Amino acid sequence: MMQEPLNTNDPEVFNIIQKEKRRQTYSLSLIASENFISRAVSEVLSSCISNKFIQRSFRYSGDADSVDELEHLCQQRALKVYGLDPEKWGVNVQPYSGSFANFAVYISVVEPHGRIMGLDPCDGGHQSHGFIMDKEKFSATSLFFESMSYKVNQETGYIDYDQLEENARLFKPKLIIAGTSSYSRNLDYSHLRKIADENGAYLLGDMAHTSGLVAAGLVPSPFDYCDVVSTSTYKTLRGCRAGAIFYRKGVRSVDAKTGRKTLYNLESLICEAVFRRLQGGLHNHSIAGLAVALKQAMTPEFKAYQVQVLANCRTLASSLIEKGYKIVTGEFCLSFPT
């Protein structure tokens, strides 16, 4: 029975999967969350590596050499894809998803009931950035932390950075989130960095939807300005369902009067938040799948794919405008290579 293929072992599940395969083959999905993984990634997900159980820090099972090697390889590739110096950046590739990654960051640098500011989900943000509507707290972020959303200008559709700056002075957040879920413009990371610095806040870049475009160098990189960068791995990056957290290392600030340096201590805080505070055993198959996807992200074919993603966006927006539809932020103009 253990060696039977799915179609004979469990025809009911097999038929449901076949039905979904037909839907994916003959319908058009316009959300980044339903991208297609490669054959190599798919093979990794169903490999024997998924049988191995391991928890970081506490070793309840032996023979973890292969898993350690795999995780280190994935980390090296993650830093290389985004052109990051290992002396200045580290990465945790254990999160089960992008939302888990975000929550791990929150409990790392924001105390319970500490203050967070993220883009309102109704204005293009994500519920994991904190969401309160009609006094109802929709997400765990808003349950365990005090969140104030920033918004877009209702006339232009652009993020209102001036209002955000004013509200931040009053709210004094510990963390500001630079991330979007359905906002069709590039973020002004330098402006967000300025606001964060004025309030002594950390700046988290959530690039879940644009991580593949960032890897291809087609949109501004959050790594130039942010203290921490989180991402899911299955959208434009075309990996399997998982998450990752990048964090700065080294000097955070230098006192202008004394010259005293303050160092980042994010690595220990974030790694402890992922395991043991939020997660148990690693999803080794997902880490392996991400490692394969990251290698693919360093190929010319991947860059060409990302260029085509933006070309498709431009064509869709232009066609809708021609038919009389209004694009929220006006004519579509994400960064595009000449």
Classify residue 41: in a domain, yes or no. Answer: no
Q: Is the dihedral of CA 136, 142, 144, 148 positive or negative?
A: negative
Q: Tens digits of per-residue pLDDT, 279-322?
A: 988 899 999 999 999 999 999 999 999 999 999 988 998 999 99
Predicted confidence at residue 332, as pLDDT, reads: 56
Question: Quick one: 22 and 53 in the same domain?
Answer: no
Question: Quick one: 162 and 244 in the same domain?
Answer: yes
Question: Quick one: 56 and 131 in the same domain?
Answer: yes
Question: Quick one: 8 and 128 in the same domain?
Answer: no
Classify residue 200: in a domain, yes or no. Answer: yes
- Give the integer Cα–Cα distance in Å for 141 and 15: 38
Report which residue type is found at 67.
V
Predicted confidence at residue 338, as pLDDT, reads: 32
Question: Quick one: 188 and 216 in the same domain?
Answer: yes
Q: Which domain holds residue 251?
A: 49-296
**pLDDT greater than 90 at residue 117:** yes
Question: Quick one: 127 and 170 in the same domain?
Answer: yes
- Give the integer Cα–Cα distance in Å for 213 and 334: 11
Question: For the residues of 233-280, what is the DSSP string, one character each?
Answer: SSSTT---S-EEEEEE-SEEEE-TTT--EEE--HHHHHHHIIIIII--
Question: Quick one: 161 and 218 in the same domain?
Answer: yes
Classify residue 238: in a domain, yes or no. Answer: yes
CB neighbour class for 200 (10 Å; exposed up to 12, middle 13-18, buried from 19): exposed
3-class SS of residue 118: strand
pTM as predicted: 0.92
Say if residues 215 and 241 touch (Cβ distance below 8 Å): no
Give 335's pLDDT tier (boundaries 50, 70, 90): very low
Predicted confidence at residue 336, as pLDDT, reads: 40
Question: Quick one: 24 and 53 in the same domain?
Answer: no
Could you say which DSSP state residue 50 is in? Answer: G
Contacts of 89 (CB under 8 A, 6+ apart): 79, 223, 246, 247, 248, 249
Classify residue 314: in a domain, yes or no. Answer: no
- CATH number (domain holding residue 237): 3.40.640.10
Give 140's pLDDT tier (boundaries 50, 70, 90): confident
Predicted confidence at residue 96, as pLDDT, reads: 96
The whole-angstrom distance between residue 195's C-alpha and the CA centroid of its chain comes to: 22
Structural domains in the chain (count): 2
